[in-house]
Amino acid sequence: MAVKLASASGGEAPPPRHVAIIMDGNGRWAKKRLLPRVAGHRQGVEAVRRVARAARSFGIEVLTLYAFSSENWRRPEEEVGALMGLLRQFLERELDQIVADGVKLRVIGGWRELSPDLVTMIEAAIARTAVNTGPTLVLALNYGAQAELLAAARRLAEQARDGTLDPAAIDEARFESELETAGLPPLDLMIRTSGEQRLSNFLLWQAAYAELLFVDTLWPDFDERALADALAQFGRRQRRFGGL
């Protein structure tokens, strides 16, 4: 059942089609409780389960989660290993439910550079959900927006060099077709938890006209109510896209 949102004009507004979340605050959640950082990441996985279910019930078509950035490799090796282990567990334990719920899984970023066993698991998960016609869950793994933009520019440059593309034909739509989010609805709402107020190299092109919402809630505490509050705030925004 889709959530009903009040619009800025006082009427009823539909939920955003595409929501992205920068899931921040796992480490601080653990530190507040005198727990190791991995405990915060474990609770963060639980938040993923809750929010993915809530997004589906609210009628959100696409939920994109910043699961592991290309910069996260700079973290201690032990923490990176724990994060990869949690990803394996998530795929092992949640895939059957994802399939049963009709959710299509999509992964963006340099995920093919992960360990071979993880790549195999991700490929199998994508294949199993490919025929699903429900909402889409997008996991950004080893993702960086600047690298995505550079790769798209290189592909277009190569096509122009080879004579298969007229440079004059490169417009916004053509450029977007080379991005990893090609075919998805435009990004409507980007949420960042934990109080930080920056995009951290996430969906930079796609966020051009997205509504940005920064909330103080740490990611492990983010739940259905928090998502409903975020959607209510989105409903009160006036989206002009440069017009009046």
Cα–Cα distances (Å) from 44 to 33, 41, 107, 129, 145, in that order, read 14, 5, 18, 23, 23
Q: Is 201 a catalytic residue?
A: no
In a domain, 6, yes or no: no
The DSSP secondary-structure symbol of 219 reads G
Kindly state the average pLDDT of the residues 66-95: 96
Q: Does 244 have pLDDT greater than 80?
A: no
71 is known to lie in a ligand binding site? yes
Kindly state the average pLDDT of the residues 91-106: 96
Consecutive H or E run containing 31? helix 26-32
pTM here is 0.93
In a domain, 244, yes or no: no
Residue 202: closest CA among 67, 28, 60:
67
Q: Is 188 a catalytic residue?
A: no
Q: Phi-psi bin for 201: left (phi > 0), alpha (psi -120 to 50), beta?
A: left
25 is known to lie in a ligand binding site? yes
- Beta bridge partners of residue 21, listed in sequence order: 65, 191
pLDDT, residue 180, reads 98
In a domain, 64, yes or no: yes
In a domain, 60, yes or no: yes
pLDDT, residue 1, reads 45
Domain carrying residue 224 = 12-230
pLDDT in tens, 136-194: 999 999 999 999 999 999 999 999 999 999 999 999 999 999 999 999 999 999 999 99
In a domain, 94, yes or no: yes
44 is known to lie in a ligand binding site? no
Tell me the pLDDT of the chain averaged across its residues. Answer: 94
In a domain, 5, yes or no: no
**Residue 187 has which token pair?**
């990004």
Q: What's the CATH number where 75 sits?
A: 3.40.1180.10
What is the number of domains present in the chain?
1
